[in-house]
Structure 1
Amino acid sequence: MSEAEQLSPEAVAERVRREIDRAMKRNIKGLDFLTAPRQDVGAMAKELVHREGTAMLYRYRPVMDEIYRVPLLIVSPPSNKGYIFDLAPGQSMVEYLLGRGYDVFNLDWAPPRRDEAHLGLGDYVDRFIPDCLATIARITGESEVSLSGYCMGGTLATIHAALHAGNGVRNLVLFATPVDFTHMHLFQKWSDRRHFDLDEVVDKLGIIPPEIMMGAFDLARPANRTAGRMHLWTNMWNDEFVRSYRMFDRWAAETLPVPGEYFREQIRYLMWDNALHEGTLEIGGRKALLSAIKVPILNIIAQHDHVVSLEAARPLRDRTGCTDYHEIVSKGGHVSLVAGPAALRRLWPHIDGWLAERSV
């Protein structure tokens, strides 16, 4: 007997009414979606406290009378805007951390100018991050910070910690951070050196436009965007779903260009040579050795991350000199670690519990 035959006439009628109601809402709200302005993002008040080239350091206004002694600096990926950490009330990691008494800073990025095409990995880990740490020390009077980063922002934070061991970093908190780039399967296929002429791309373009980065995702998962639109249409009746979709869609659409030299070094040294993992990465004549990192590490990995796999992020456990290592493998995908109501319920309380006892 089929499911429909088992249902009572009343249950069938209720299901039909529900589907008709949703179909009507989809069509009515679909027109609203097409004509709506961009979804507002950002929940918490912040102040620009330092600006150097493409680097912008923001301090979020504390909301608690008492805050932890050790400030928290979150490094955004250079290709993405930092408001992913502060999408909206109830979906903001910054809002959550401020409410728990943390002094939160965010290193965000402006689109590089044409004359900034020469900026490389060294500028990010040896200039921008240290200058932000110096600014934080001047503002707060504290010489130590908890350094955090998401995706390539986490990789930059890790490289900085390896180069500047024992110099101002109290804790390292990483979200979906690649370390072993041989397991960055999506980008390994896209940047295969057999057909990817890296120098030609960088030398001709100077600044790498966001379309090139977005193209990597579309090439590796060609049906992903179509599937996302179909999922949106199915849930068009759900105002909360549509609101979240529009916020994430805006963030993805506002992918940033990156300096050509940074792009070249990222592909050549990290993707092709796997130099960070292998201990051969040199910045300014010094090797960035993971074994030099001895501060406490909280490594947060997404179980179903199609960008940064578990294998790409997990080597921090064995490659660093850390004796206070904690790892969280969270359900969900790449973005769900740093944004959304699910992270608020499942993940962020664990981060608070770990960080609180190491921030006094």
Structure 2
Amino acid sequence: MYGPLNITPDALAEEASRLQRKLMAGIRTLHDMDEVDFGVTPREEVWRDGKTVLYRFKGARAPTAKTPILISYALVNRPYMVDLQEDRSLVKGLLERGEDVYVIDWGYPDRSDRYLTLEDYIERFIGGAVDHLRKACSVPSINLLGICQGGAFSLCYAALHPDKIRNLITMVTPVDFHTPDNMLSNWNREIDVDLLVDTLGNVPADMMNFTYLMLKPWRLFAQKYVGMADILDDQRAMEDFLRMEKWIFDSPDQAGEAFREFSKQFFQQNRFMGGPPPRIGNSEVHLGEIDMPILNIYAEQDHLVPPDSSRALRGLIGSDDYTELAFKGGHIGIYVSSRAQREVPQTIHDWLRKRG
């Protein structure tokens, strides 16, 4: 008898032999691979303010939509997650359906950006991109697609300038930062943010990455690398794996003052949900001022932005045209899974088309 797992010497020997074959195949696979790349869709720079650049994506055919879509991503990672590879691209899916798609690239903040504030990011950068598109496309208002923290930024901008946003789409966007299952917020509330920023200036990317990985340490530190052994002999799967790893660890530092303001007003004080409203510069943000149509897309298995955090948007806004889409997946799967490629671009396109 060998116990309930029925592990025999022959089984162990076979497993060791299988692993050896995988490792040898992995050496050949990695030797034959080129450096993985990302951002498959051609794009052109159309506007710039400092390190922040506005890009227009160029599809195989000219867009048919008259109103452009501006994507506002989070600060903590690079925005090419929305255009990661040929078969995993929200951007490509939208372009194929005739949309005119743009993205804000925040760049890599350095010490000269230490004192950038939320007002800079929302009024100066998002506002500058919006005004450029309104003028370049000869439209009074544009469609704004905000993702994660970029969605919170988009809510603030839409509340402050409702006349400039025709339709608002939020994806995996936190609204209620104090839901019981929001581990990231619970951790943040225990941090002396003033001491952190005053000591470090900009918040290092490695520190931010370590924090996010520690939310699921077994899954993100050990399990995925153990599982990598199973795909070492599959070049396509290894390319996908390494491309995702490259994105995860290609993180910018966080501009100190903007980090301080966002952490205190949203993670710690939860200002969207009550009490003093968020302040962007000298302006107060009231979500009730958002009167345009809203499509709110959230992920049902999201460990970073729990569904209840996103669903809290209902009832806080001034618009009667509010739609929710519950996506069966996680925070990253909503961009890159095969289900996402089928569902998300089509949903956004159909929703926009019904609104002219």
Q: Taking structure 1 as the reference length, what is the TM-score of the superposition?
A: 0.88
Written as runs of structure 1 = structure 2, the 5 A alignment for 1:166-245 is 167-183=163-179, 185-193=182-190, 196-223=191-218, 224-245=220-241
Determine if contact 2:118/2:258 at 8 Å carries over to the other structure.
Answer: yes
Deviation at 1:21, TM superposition (A): 7.9
Which string of whole-angstrom CA distances, capped at 9 and with x for unpartnered residues, describes residues 52-106 of structure 1?
Answer: 1232110112432451111000011112111111111121111111111111000
Deviation at 1:23, TM superposition (A): 6.9
C-alpha distance in 1 between matches for 2:77 and 2:246: 11
Q: Which amino acid in structure 2 is aligned with residue 80 of structure 1?
A: N
Q: Which amino acid in structure 2 is aligned with residue 218 of structure 1?
A: L
1:162 aligns with 2:162: no
| Secondary structure in 1 matching 2:217 | coil
C-alpha distance in 2 between matches for 1:314 and 1:34: 47
Aligned equivalent of 2:333: 336
Which string of whole-angstrom CA distances, capped at 9 and with x for unpartnered residues, describes residues 153-187 of structure 1?
Answer: 1111111111112x210111111000111127222
Which string of whole-angstrom CA distances, capped at 9 and with x for unpartnered residues, describes residues 253-295 of structure 1?
Answer: 1011110001111111101100122262122222111111111
Which string of whole-angstrom CA distances, capped at 9 and with x for unpartnered residues, describes residues 122-175 of structure 1?
Answer: 11111111100111122211221110111101111111111112x210111111
Equivalent of 2:150 in 153, 156, 160: 153
Aligned equivalent of 1:271: 267
| Secondary structure in 1 matching 2:36 | coil
Equivalent of 1:293 in 290, 293, 309: 290
C-alpha distance in 2 between matches for 1:114 and 1:34: 38
Q: 1:203 and 1:36, CA in 2 relative to 1: closer, same or farther beyond 3 A?
A: farther
Aligned equivalent of 2:101: 104
Equivalent of 1:131 in 115, 118, 128: 128
Cα RMSD over matched residues? 2.3
Q: 1:27 and 1:112, CA in 2 relative to 1: closer, same or farther beyond 3 A?
A: same
Determine if contact 1:182/1:271 at 8 Å carries over to the other structure.
Answer: yes
| Secondary structure in 1 matching 2:326 | strand
C-alpha distance in 2 between matches for 1:66 and 1:42: 19
C-alpha distance in 2 between matches for 1:93 and 1:220: 26
Q: 1:35 and 1:259, CA in 2 relative to 1: closer, same or farther beyond 3 A?
A: farther
| Secondary structure in 1 matching 2:292 | coil
Deviation at 1:45, TM superposition (A): 0.9
Percent identity of equivalent pairs: 29
Determine if contact 1:38/1:250 at 8 Å carries over to the other structure.
Answer: no
Number of residue pairs the alignment of both structures matches: 340
Q: Which amino acid in structure 2 is aligned with residue 291 of structure 1?
A: G
Stretch of structure 1 that moved more, 332-341 or 168-177: 332-341
C-alpha distance in 2 between matches for 1:240 and 1:232: 13
Aligned equivalent of 2:110: 113
C-alpha distance in 2 between matches for 1:35 and 1:155: 43
Equivalent of 1:79 in 76, 79, 84: 76
Q: Which amino acid in structure 2 is aligned with residue 275 of structure 1?
A: R
Aligned equivalent of 1:3: none
C-alpha distance in 1 between matches for 2:90 and 2:328: 17
Aligned equivalent of 1:5: none
Which string of whole-angstrom CA distances, capped at 9 and with x for unpartnered residues, describes residues 197-236 of structure 1?
Answer: 2112111211111112112123332222211112222233
Determine if contact 2:189/2:267 at 8 Å carries over to the other structure.
Answer: no
C-alpha distance in 2 between matches for 1:299 and 1:20: 50
Q: Which amino acid in structure 2 is aligned with residue 89 of structure 1?
A: E
Determine if contact 2:271/2:278 at 8 Å carries over to the other structure.
Answer: yes
Deviation at 1:31, TM superposition (A): 5.4
| Secondary structure in 2 matching 1:180 | coil
Aligned equivalent of 1:11: none
Q: 1:137 and 1:31, CA in 2 relative to 1: closer, same or farther beyond 3 A?
A: same
Determine if contact 1:78/1:258 at 8 Å carries over to the other structure.
Answer: yes
Aligned equivalent of 2:8: none
Aligned equivalent of 1:249: 245
C-alpha distance in 1 between matches for 2:328 and 2:68: 28
Q: Which amino acid in structure 1 is aligned with residue 256 of structure 2?
A: G
C-alpha distance in 2 between matches for 1:33 and 1:326: 45
C-alpha distance in 2 between matches for 1:212 and 1:354: 39
